[in-house]
Amino acid sequence: MKNNPIIFVMGVSGSGKSTIGKLLAQKLNLDFFDGDDYHPKENVEKMAMGTPLTDDDRKGWLIRLNQLSHENKETGAVIACSALKHSYRKLLRDGLEEQMEFVFLKGSFELVSERLNARKGHFMPPELLRSQFEALEIPKAALTVSIEHSPEMIVDTILTKLTGK
């Protein structure tokens, strides 16, 4: 595994970024940050109203998460962030190429939809899921795991793959 890794757990809304990210951070004894907490108020309001974010809406937020990564450069961290497009991942990685890992949570529209419909108390409406899949550009270099298994199994798979690197 890379030294002091900055691990971005990425995927569409409801793919399990927060659930998996927290557990992974615990196992690696790293701090966990949820990208959702760094959206400006306008972005959260927009999503809550059922409008997908644009590239422009996401830009400042991605820059902030790149800064956050730099702030945690010495220790490493786990960060949950949708990171849907290649250009977003390039921005997130800027200046930290050596330390950064992307873990992609891969799942079908149907499965994620089921989980989102069952989730309570979150601002993101399930109706936005289609637009999340439309925006998603599948990462080629990411460590990819299927979300069909339990969170514990998924994290074990990630750890095995990470430590084998």
Ligand X SMILES: Nc1ncnc2c1ncn2[C@@H]1O[C@H](COP(=O)(O)OP(=O)(O)OP(=O)(O)O)[C@@H](O)[C@H]1O
Ligand Y SMILES: O=C(O)[C@H](O)[C@@H](O)[C@H](O)[C@H](O)CO
Nearer to ligand X, 5 or 126 (CB): 126
Residue of the chain from 10, 53, 103, 154 that contacts ligand Y (CB under 6 A): 53
Report helix, strand or coil for 80: strand
What residue number has its CB nearest to ligand X?
16
Nearer to ligand Y, 118 or 163 (CB): 118
Q: How far is the CB of 11 from ligand Y (least distance, A)?
A: 8
129 in Cβ contact with 109 (< 8 Å): yes
Residues 6+ apart with CB under 8 A from 121: none
Report helix, strand or coil for 63: helix
Residue of the chain from 19, 58, 100, 102 that contacts ligand Y (CB under 6 A): 58
Angle formed by the axes of helices 151-163 and 17-28, nearest 10°: 50
Q: Which does 58 bind (CB under 5 to 8 A by kind): ligand X, ligand Y, none?
A: ligand Y
Residue of the chain from 24, 84, 145, 154 that contacts ligand Y (CB under 6 A): 84
Residue of the chain from 1, 68, 111, 124 that contacts ligand Y (CB under 6 A): 124
94 in Cβ contact with 66 (< 8 Å): yes
137 in Cβ contact with 89 (< 8 Å): no
102 in Cβ contact with 128 (< 8 Å): no
Check residue 145 for interaction with ligand Y (CB under 6 A): no
Residue of the chain from 19, 30, 33, 36 that contacts ligand Y (CB under 6 A): 36
List contacts with ligand Y (CB under 6 A): 13, 36, 39, 53, 58, 82, 84, 124, 132
